[in-house]
Amino acid sequence: MYRIENLEYNKRVTVHAPGTVANLVCGFDILGLCLHEPHDVMHVTLLDEPKVVIESLDGYPLPADPQLNTAGAPLLEMIHEVDATVGFHVSIQKNIKPGSGVGSSAASAAGAVVAANHLLGNIFSPTDLVRFAMAGEKVASGVKHADNVAPCIIGGVTLIRSIFPLDIVSIPSPELFVTVVHPQIEIRTADARQILRKEVLLKDAIKQWGNIAGLVAGFMQNDLSLIGRSLEDVIIEPVRSILIPGFSDVKQQCKEAGALGGGISGSGPSIFMLSKDEPTATAVEQVMKDVYNKLGIPYHTYVTTINQQGVTKAS
Ligand code: HSE
């Protein structure tokens, strides 16, 4: 229990809660990186009653019961660990669409707990905040996973070595560009997890852990070719890519345009590609646009970089 004195009730903090790319192709549930764009804007106000009120600023229908809300559930967990009467009012401008694959639920959860922690005098550690935020992921997908909330809170590339107990490792990375295309179809993470096989072949596991180790080593050694070679997934992508129209064309043509590699962002439908410089990332964006224009599927694209800060306080 954390005891807090001199609370400033009615004080309001605004944060930017960025999107994230979970899995990084080969690292299902254990790797993720933080983006600069897109990001949600969240205003959180400290209340003198133990309750959580969630308000949508842009008409997204959000569950009124905070237990069922990705921002509300983490705040309720946080309130339980504070030895003072506190509550929070949260208003959210959701720029990251739910079901997009760029960490929409994680942004709500992470933004809420980082803002609330500011209002409480930053008593909780980043690991505590990730622990609270995972309650939001449980609401969204039925399972606690930290590969979106950890990079969203901590920034950069993160490895989640374990979630029980939480063991998060920040991985240094080169300044890469990230191109994301979000075809405007919705894939619920819970559904995208449901279709996965429960068992893997040893030969596939060997390939996969070779790639995970290669990707981490590539980031740490600034070895772009190793990063590219390691962005390969023999377990999850063959199953999930079926849900994403145009996936194999995007992947193949983006690599031909110079991308190091990439794949499904989180549980999809967004697809991300890493590039060494901005001109390549922009050429990759054009390839993505061409594929979805041809398919007649509306989309959004982002050309952005790895965000080393995570959730930031705007005011
Ligand atoms: N690791 C999670 C999954 C991320 O792929 O289901 C969801 O964004």
**For residue range 148-185, what is the model confidence (pLDDT) as tens digits?**
999 999 999 999 999 999 999 999 999 999 999 999 99
126, 71 contact by CB (below 8 A): no
For ligand 1, whether the C-beta of 193 sits within 6 Å is yes
Residue 211: which CATH number?
A: 3.30.70.890
Q: Whose CA is nearest to atom 7 of ligand 1?
A: 266
Same domain, 224 and 141: no
Question: Which of 137, 237, 280, 285 is labelled catalytic?
Answer: 137
Same domain, 14 and 118: yes
| pLDDT for residue 120 | 96
For ligand 1, whether the C-beta of 28 sits within 6 Å is yes
Domain holding 74, by residue range, is 2-172
> What value does the mean pLDDT take over residues 68-80?
96
DSSP one-letter code for 300: E
Taking the C-alpha atoms of residue 87 and residue 103, their distance in angstroms, rounded to an integer, is 25
Which atom from ligand 1 is nearest to the alpha carbon of 267? 5
- Please work out, in degrees rounded to the nearest 5, the angle formed at the alpha carbon of residue 84 by the alpha carbons of 80 and 89: 70
Which atom from ligand 1 is nearest to the alpha carbon of 22? 4
Same domain, 156 and 14: yes
Same domain, 168 and 211: no
Same domain, 209 and 163: no
For ligand 1, whether the C-beta of 29 sits within 6 Å is yes
For ligand 1, whether the C-beta of 240 sits within 6 Å is no
Task: Evaluate if pTM is beyond 0.75.
Answer: yes
For ligand 1, whether the C-beta of 100 sits within 6 Å is no
Centre of ligand 1 to C-alpha 189, Å, is: 6
pLDDT band (50, 70, 90) for residue 2: confident
Q: Whose CA is nearest to atom 4 of ligand 1?
A: 266
Question: Which residue out of 34, 70, 147, 265 has the highest number of ligand 1 atoms within 8 Å of its CB and is therefore the one to mutate?
Answer: 147
Number of other residues whose CB lies within 10 A of the CB of residue 47: 17
Question: Which of 189, 280, 285, 304 is labelled catalytic?
Answer: 189
Lowest mean pLDDT, pick from 39-48, 50-59, 109-118, 176-185 = 50-59
The shares of helix, strand and coil residues in the chain, as percent rounded to the nearest 5, are: 35, 25, 35
| pLDDT for residue 230 | 98
| pLDDT for residue 192 | 94
Give me the number of domains the chain comprises: 2
Whether the link from the prior residue into 61 is cis, omega within 30° of 0, is no
Centre of ligand 1 to C-alpha 227, Å, is: 20
Same domain, 162 and 227: no
**Is position 12 within any domain?**
yes
Q: Is 137 a catalytic residue?
A: yes
Q: Is 158 a catalytic residue?
A: no
Q: What is the pLDDT of residues 12-41, one digit of tens each?
A: 999 999 999 999 999 999 999 999 999 999
Residue 87: which CATH number?
A: 3.30.230.10
- Please work out, in degrees rounded to the nearest 5, the angle formed at the alpha carbon of residue 135 by the alpha carbons of 199 and 69: 115
**In this structure, what token pair is assigned to residue 4?**
């807090």
Q: Pick from 172, 193, 217: which residue ends a domain? A: 172
